[in-house]
């Protein structure tokens, strides 16, 4: 193919890569929010300490993968932007689950399900390493690695002169990107808080217990300015999922051996969850329904469901527009907006939802549906988000600080002067 065809093909497949990540992020987040990391009643069990420890580890590891899927989405977007394309993120989630991953071989569907051995097995298959004989594939692939290897082959055919628009990309700065956050860290011992504290060093107990699943040197959000950068970005995505190519165990994501791959994390959890009975797991897993959709919920809960979906969609809308900006405007929209949105607003909305019960025969909790929310107008999207928040009845227990935080979000309606307003 000629150069124009090569770049056009890369544009198309990089957008598919973005949509693959957008398909997996809700799946991992849904399972994460189903986990009760502060369970009651474990003290009465013979294996209660082990169960509480597993709950925290499962939560930390699943969220650590979700964080890196966001990183992968951004890295694919940076490559696309460098090659002159524009990432499309808003309303690009796959819609109702279960769903097949984009361009995956037919017959494999992933869904929104609470933590279970079956769900962890699905996660394992999502991150499954390809076999040594597997060929790079642009379509109908069995492993994500095959698809990214195909993109890698295309990148090798490019030249440094093909990469531009560096200013319109996202990079780790201002402290807003971190491989770990409060939700990824977990303690070695779920009962550590009950252990005696050293009065002369009150933070020592917690520090000695903290486990950080993602390692800073295993891959970062980098700007793509040349062919070598693009190759580094795509290999970061591949290695974090299934391991670097020289590791036949697929345990580590690079030669430093400081971070486990997504596949290995899920395999480890799958092996551990088998130690607990269904009765045990009820203490650490909220009763989330499988593959919920808005139209399956009673009308009284829809204001909260709509707010969660609109907030989730607004986050990707902010990110998409950030790739069209640069400098302070981009920083305001992405770094401030995503930090406030993903870390606090969405977390608090979904964290509160799960304590609302549907009063059906299954005793199920209200859970997020992660459906696309299409705003009436992008020019007034923030105002619509505020209105949705204000419409949630007090009876649904929404944290009152949520409205304040939403009002603090950047407005996606960036004026012709390029200034982002709040």
What single string gives the DSSP state of each residue in 338-390? HHHIIIIIHHHHHHHHTT-B--STT-PBP---------S-GGGHHHHHHHHHH
Q: What's the N-to-C CA distance of the chain in angstroms?
A: 46
What's the gap between Cα 264 and its chain centre? 17
For residues 183-208, give the mean pLDDT: 76
| Percent above pLDDT 90 for the chain | 59
**pLDDT tens readout for residues 376-422:** 998 899 999 999 999 999 999 999 999 999 999 998 887 666 666 65
Among residues 352, 350, 405, 348, the alpha carbon closest in space to that of 382 is found at 405
pLDDT at 255 exceeding the cut of 70: no
Q: What is the CA radius of gyration of the chain?
A: 22
Cβ atoms within 10 Å of 291's Cβ, excluding its own: 17
3-state helix, strand, coil in the chain (%, to 5): 50, 5, 45
Angle at 122 between CA 121 and CA 126, to 5 degrees: 120
CA 152, CA 234: separation in Å to the nearest integer? 7
Q: Compute the CA torsion angle 378, 382, 383, 387 (nearest 10 deg).
A: 120
pLDDT at 71 exceeding the cut of 60: yes
Cβ atoms of 92 and 316 closer than 8 Å: yes
Residue 344's pLDDT band, with cuts at 50, 70 and 90, is confident
Q: At 375, phi and psi to the nearest 5?
A: -70, 150
């Amino acid at each position: 193919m000629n150069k124009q065809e090569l770049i056009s093909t890369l544009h198309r497949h990089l957008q598919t890569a973005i949509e693959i990540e957008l398909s997996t992020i809700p799946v991992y987040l849904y399972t994460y929010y189903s986990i009760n990391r502060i369970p009651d009643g474990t003290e009465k069990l013979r294996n209660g300490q082990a169960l509480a420890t597993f709950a925290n580890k499962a939560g930390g590891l699943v969220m650590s993968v979700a964080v890196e899927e966001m990183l992968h989405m951004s890295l694919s977007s940076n490559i696309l932007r460098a090659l002159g394309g524009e990432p499309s993120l808003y309303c690009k989630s796959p819609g109702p689950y279960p769903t097949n991953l984009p361009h995956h071989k037919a017959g494999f569907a992933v869904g929104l399900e609470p933590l279970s051995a079956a769900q962890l097995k699905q996660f394992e298959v999502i991150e499954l390493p390809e076999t040594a004989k597997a060929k790079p594939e642009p379509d109908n692939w069995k492993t994500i690695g095959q698809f990214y290897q195909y993109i890698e082959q295309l990148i090798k055919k490019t030249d440094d002169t093909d990469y531009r628009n560096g200013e319109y990309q996202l990079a780790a700065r201002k402290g807003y990107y971190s491989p770990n956050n409060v939700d990824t860290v977990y303690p070695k011992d779920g009962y550590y808080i009950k252990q005696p504290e050293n009065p002369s060093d009150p933070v020592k107990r917690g520090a000695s217990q903290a486990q950080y699943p993602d390692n800073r040197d295993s891959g970062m959000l980098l700007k793509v300015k040349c062919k070598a950068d693009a190759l580094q970005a795509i290999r970061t995505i591949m290695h974090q999922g299934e391991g670097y190519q020289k590791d036949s165990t697929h345990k580590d994501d690079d030669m430093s051996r400081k971070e486990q791959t997504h596949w290995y994390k899920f395999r480890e959890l799958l092996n551990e969850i088998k130690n607990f009975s269904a009765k045990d797991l009820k203490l650490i897993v909220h009763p989330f329904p499988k593959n919920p959709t808005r139209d399956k919920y009673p009308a009284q809960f829809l204001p909260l469901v709509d707010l969660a979906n609109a907030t989730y969609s607004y986050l990707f809308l902010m990110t998409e527009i950030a790739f069209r900006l640069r400098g302070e405007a981009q920083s305001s929209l992405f770094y401030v907006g995503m930090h406030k949105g993903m870390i606090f607003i969405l977390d608090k909305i979904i964290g509160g939802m799960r304590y609302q019960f549907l009063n059906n025969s299954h005793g199920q909790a209200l859970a997020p549906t992660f459906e696309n929310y299409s705003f009436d107008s992008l020019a007034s999207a923030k105002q619509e988000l505020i209105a949705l928040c204000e419409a949630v009845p007090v009876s649904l227990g929404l944290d009152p600080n949520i409205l304040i935080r939403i009002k603090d979000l950047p407005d996606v309606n960036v004026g012709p002067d390029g200034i982002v307003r709040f």
